Structure formats: structure tokens, C-alpha cells
Structure 1
Amino acid sequence: MLKKRWMVGLLAGCLAAGGFSYNALAKENNEHTQTASSKTSALTEQEAESIAKTVVDGTVEDIDRDIYNGKEAYEVEIEKDGEDYDVYVDINTRQALNDPLQEKAEQVAITKEEAEEIALKQTSGTVIESKLDEDDGTYIYEIEIQTKQGDESEFDISAKDGRIIKQEIDD
């Protein structure tokens, strides 16, 4: 009987010690989890804006959540010197995923005036509108010409090599 009591006491002591150890480990793990999650809290629009402005310093026009190259990102539209640039900021890594100023420098090889001359060789008249536009990383000049007959011709011209991508004639 004494052995039985001694065994029950020993068993109860082991269970109590195990419970204390488990609680201590659980508390320590919880503290680490809370610290890690506070470091990886969701990126805010204001933080994304701040990161994007390190790439293109201008006025933020709009900010939206988007997918860029398979990554969840904020698309930050920034106006600088009369042009709009889209900077994508990865929500998880908090890094800018692109540099639209560098992309533009690499892809725009002809000037707006050269693009207008290319269009005017196809259709004589007066340029009434001309602008550089970017769509999905491709730069084109959109040129509108008013002909002497009153018709309008619209051209999309590659900013990289000056080839005519599209021509429309409206009468």
C-alpha cells in the first residue's frame, strides 16, 4: 500500500512538472509568434506610397492592390513632369518591383517629333494631338492628324523603333 501511494505521488508530481514545462514553452512560443507577426504586419497604402516615391519622386495620383509578375502588390500611380508612372510595391517583401523611369529610358529611342514626322509621311495634314503612352511596359506614341479634307488619322508608333503599329482613318 505504501508503494502504491508513493507511485501515485510520483506520478502526480511528474504530471505537474510536465504541465508547468508545457505552459512555459507555450508562453515562450506565443511571445515569439507575436513578435514575428508584428514585424510582418500587412503593408499599408501609406507605406507603399513612401516606398514608391523612392523610385519616382512625384505626386501620387492613385493607389490600388494588383498582381504584378505573379506577386501581390500595390500599384502606385505617380505623376512627374506631366507623365504618369506606375510603381509596383510587393506587399510581402515591401520592395519596389519595377523602375518605370529606367524602363522608359530603355524603351524610348525616338522623340515625339520624330514619331510625328513618321505619321506625317503617311498622311499629310496638321498634328492635333501627340503623346507618349505606356501600356504593360510597352511605349508608343499616339498621334492624331487633321487632314486638309477634314478627316482625322490616328497612328500608334513604336517609341522603340519608330514602326507604325496601327493606323486608323476617320471620315
Structure 2
Amino acid sequence: MKKKLGIVLGCVVAAGFLGLGVFHTSASPSEPSLTINEVRDIVKKQYPGKITELEQETEFNRAIYEVEIANDKKEYDLKVDGNSGEILDIKEKPSKNSSTSAKDKKETENKRNKSNDSKENNELNNNNESKKSTHSNEQLNISEKETAISGKEAKKIALDAFEGTVSDFDLDEDDGRLIYEIEIENGEKEAEIEVDAYTGEVIVIDYD
């Protein structure tokens, strides 16, 4: 009798552990307890430089933030725990002096544009007009879809994440997901922020 009772109890305990494992496996990842601004402050205190990108991701049902930061000498790719603020991973590489190379590219492009003849310029203008028309039609189709977050609310969310003046505002679709793309200027600083049009979640902050 005792042997049978022991077998029954063992089966019940095993079933309980199995159910708990299934629950944890199927559970959806929780939202991070740390906001983007809090993560930005944590990173700035530990790594001097300019944050060029800050994005929320999920790895193995764990909320993390991926951060890119650069200074004159080095660049860092960080992974930060969305709940504890712990630095989970860091990759270090030499700085590419992107600002200098970007200026050189712009100067080269300007010289090439000046050397183009009037026919090439007309063709470029026609192509640009065609692209603008296509983009406008796409925007009309996107604007017909319903969003839970209004444009005004999206701007407020973006300004809470980065103070300044909204210089550009756009509603776009990415893999069936409607997002607000908002550009904000604050003096010499700029940021491009993506806000989910349904949840109001700040998806990406790209600093310039």
C-alpha cells in the first residue's frame, strides 16, 4: 500500500514540474522595468561618448536594450538587461571617424552633382517627382488604416524621450506594423524616434 502511494505521489509531483516548465516556456516576455531614458543614463555614466543608437529587443524571453556608443577613439556595442541595468555583453572596436568620412563623401557628391549636365539633372528631377508621387500614394493608403495612438500622442511620447522641437513627422509601415517616424532637433543635437502606432511603445531612438 505504501509503495503504491509513493508511486502516485511521485507522478503528481512530476506532472506539477512538467506543467510549471510548460508555463514558463509559453509565457510571453514581460515588459522591461527600465525605460529608455534610464538605460541611457546608466550607459552614459559608465562609457564616455555619444550614444548613436538605442533599441529595445527580446532575447530568449528576456527584455534587453542594444546600445551603440562612440567617442574619438573607440566604439562600443552594448547589451543591457532591461530590468536590472546589468551590462550583459560588450563589443569594443576602433572608431572609424565617421564624421570626417561623411563630410568627405558629401563634398565628393557635391562636386559630382555640379559636373552633371542639364540633361542628367532633368532626369534626376523627373525620377524624384515620380518617387514623391509614389510615396504620397503609399502614405494615403497607410493613413487609411486605423491606429490606436494619434499623431499628437505619438509626438508627446517622442518628446518625453528626447526634448526639443519636432522637425519631421511621418506615419510608415514596417512588416505590417504601423509606426510613427519622428525627427526632433535640440540645438546641434538631433534624434529620430520610432513609436508604435498601436501600443505607443518607443521602438528606436537614433541620435545624430
Shorter-chain TM-score above 0.5 = no
Q: Which has the higher contact order (CA 8 A, sep 6+)?
A: 2
Give TM-score, length-normalised by structure 1: 0.40
Larger Rg: 1
